[in-house]
Structure 1
Amino acid sequence: MFSIRVMVCLVMFIFTSFLVYAQRNDKTSLCSTDEYVRFSCQLENKKIVSLCSKKNENKVNEKNINSIGLVYRYGTESNIELNYPIDADGSDFGYESIRQEATEDENKYYSTRVYFSLGKYKYIVGNSEIFDAISWLAVNKNENEIFYSQCNDNLTYANVDIFQE
């Protein structure tokens, strides 16, 4: 009798934890239910930045970045302020990975960025690591940074294979 109660409590705890986790993740992504979340986080300004894709490639790199149907979204659930590309054939994303091995005088550095340009603006979603991982969004206008914000909880989604090689 006691073991059945323990099992029921354990199952209910796991189920409740899963529901809380699923609800939290749903609120931290602007991807639709038929898309794969490649990157998503809430920024310091409480807005969400998400990279979503139509195709589930295991790894994303500079060779296939424009063939997976990648979409950038920025805003809130109730107000997506920027959705790029507007049409499915218009994507022109760039992918950049920088590695610097540690030397005697410097720490190991690793940075990966996904970016696109829209008129005079360049949008850059990145993940950098020196001591700790930092994920961020930067917007440049005419080569000058006009916006920079780090992710509140770094990466809200663990499914960030867009930043793996």
Structure 2
Amino acid sequence: MKIKSASTERHVLNVTVDNEPGILAKITGLFTARGYNIDSLTVADITEDHAVSRITIVTGGPPEVIDQIEAQLERLVPVHGVIDLTTAGPHVERELALIKVAGIGEKRVEALRVADIFRASVVDTTTESFVFELTGAPNKIDSFIALMRGLGLLEVGRSGVVGMMRGAEGK
């Protein structure tokens, strides 16, 4: 969105598309041309024959803008379907982050204690730093990063949100 307002809502869209060259550019171009922001974008091949992919887009806007985005996405030829997980019902969202934190002495001990509380794994360590791996809801990762800022946060890499509906029905 160009301007964030009080009515801006976060939405997670699952877009199922033909896995063909240029489709990601078409979708991101649709957002860019209309001044919509993409907060997170992930793509995964979802069929055995590699013919179909799922694109998960996190964006924001008032309900009428989200409706417009969905309608415009559905008009693109290689798009099979668009589901707004935020409004469709119960769903699961997860994200992976790697967080590098400098630490010696008491700050090192505190960083490890906080990581344990958040169930973050140490995937690399030196005598002066750690790289933690954390998987969870985006707000969990945001909270962990906020706490690590005071303990020596050096670098953050995030995968982007993936999500799907709960229950036995697949879409």
TM-score by length of 1: 0.30
The higher-RCO structure (CA 8 Å, 6+ apart) is: 2
Higher relative helix content: 2
TM-score by length of 2: 0.29
